[in-house]
Amino acid sequence: MNDALFAQLSTLGSSLALLFGITLLWRRSLSAYISAFRWQSAALSALLVAIGYLGDDPELYFVAIFFAALKVIALPYYLTRMEKQLGGERESQPYVNVATSLILSGLLVLLAYAVTRPLVIVSTLPTRGGLPLAVGLIFVGLFVVVTRKKALTQIVGFLVLENGIALLAALATFGIPLIVELGVFLDVLMGFLVMQVFVYHIHGTFESIDVDQLSELRY
């Protein structure tokens, strides 16, 4: 019974995370991207707590707390501040239009199901149902990074990708050792700060955060 509940909860949490990842593709304004990311991270930290409780691994509680502090509070706060400073630009013309990118993300999740199929079949973990969704979330995050033009939406895409990796790690191993998790969080934070510096420089030079303009020699 406990295993069945565990399986249900983990797939439910993973599909919620994927749901927010997909709504991200539909939205245009940067603040909508940020709030979708925030909700996704909140769903993931709740899932981490659930995995910690049902998988009997108290370390995951700490991971969940760090996760929530970093990705529900700190990063969205900085993102919102950046968005305000850079002026509310919208992701109005992504490289792939919205309807197509939604269909493509659906296909990407199908692909994730296909590539994780052998793994899911041999796995005996109660959380195996969520594995394809986590891989799908990674694909969707990568898709956001490559198809969106604004530097800020690309950062959000990167963070979604990272969320997918964290989800996959939590589902597949029930928590990597705490020290490794902390290292990963620090990495994300550093990566984010570096990107923030880049975004400010791009904005300072081009007066826009549209990375499309970077390919032109003169502006």
* Among the listed residues 19, 96, 169, 184, the single contact to other proteins using CB under 8 A: 19
Please give the size of the binding site for other proteins, defined by CB under 8 A: 27
* Among the listed residues 73, 74, 110, 186, the single contact to other proteins using CB under 8 A: 110
Rounded to the nearest whole angstrom, what is the least distance from the CB of residue 208 to other proteins in the complex?
24
- Distance in angstroms (rounded) separating the CA atoms of residues 129 and 34: 27
Q: Which part of the chain contacts other proteins (CB under 8 A), choosing from 52-60, 98-106, 151-159, 172-180?
A: 98-106
Residue 198 CA from chain centroid, whole number: 20
Residue 99 in contact with other proteins, rule: CB under 8 A: yes
Question: With b meaning 16 or more CB within 10 Å and e meaning fewer, what string describes 91-123?
Answer: beebebeeeebeebbeebbeebeeebeeeeeee
Give the torsion sign (CA, 205, 210, 211, 217).
Answer: negative
Residue 32 in contact with other proteins, rule: CB under 8 A: no
- Distance in angstroms (rounded) separating the CA atoms of residues 172 and 128: 7
Q: Using CB under 8 A as the criterion, which residues of the chain lie in contact with other proteins when the complex forms? A: 4-5, 8, 11-12, 14-16, 18-19, 22-23, 26, 98-99, 102-103, 105-106, 109-110, 113, 117, 120, 129, 132-133
